[in-house]
Amino acid sequence: MPTYEYRCEKCGRFEEFQRITDDPLKTCPRCGGPVKRLISSNVSIIFKGSGFYTTDNRSKEYKEQAKKENEATTSTSSTAASSAAH
Ligand SMILES: [Zn+2]
């Protein structure tokens, strides 16, 4: 059974267990004042995680690849440089 959050103008926030089929409260069960139902906000944060991991893996592989290529180029260029010095 979901918990709905309400805000009473007099009492402040409170939670109320209700069935989905129940009508939202219009009046506060404590003071009888008007209430508004709040939209639940704890759903959307988890989204971002998965993208980070794929990008991270890819960049790590890319770095390893770039490192190999870099070592290859530095070794050939150093030989070229030493032979040019002679
Ligand atoms: Zn109230």
Q: How far apart are CA 24 and CA 1, in angstroms?
A: 14
Which pLDDT tens digit goes with each residue over 56-80? Answer: 566 777 788 888 888 887 766 555 5
- Name the domain count of the chain: 1
Can you give the pLDDT at residue 35?
A: 96
Q: How far is ligand 1, taken at its centre, from the CA of residue 5, in Å?
A: 13
Residue 11 covered by a domain: yes
Residue 59 covered by a domain: no
Q: How far is ligand 1, taken at its centre, from the CA of residue 10, in Å?
A: 5
Can you give 2-66 as a three-state secondary structure string? CEEEEEECCCEEEEEECCCCCCCCCECCCCCCEEEEECCCCCCHHHHHHHHHHHHHHHHHHHHHH
Q: How far is ligand 1, taken at its centre, from the CA of residue 36, in Å?
A: 11
Residue 69 covered by a domain: no
Residue 49 covered by a domain: no
Can you give the pLDDT at residue 11?
A: 93
Residue 54 covered by a domain: no
Q: How far is ligand 1, taken at its centre, from the CA of residue 4, in Å?
A: 15
* Structural tokens at position 69: 């290529």
With a threshold of 0.75, does the pTM exceed it?
Answer: no
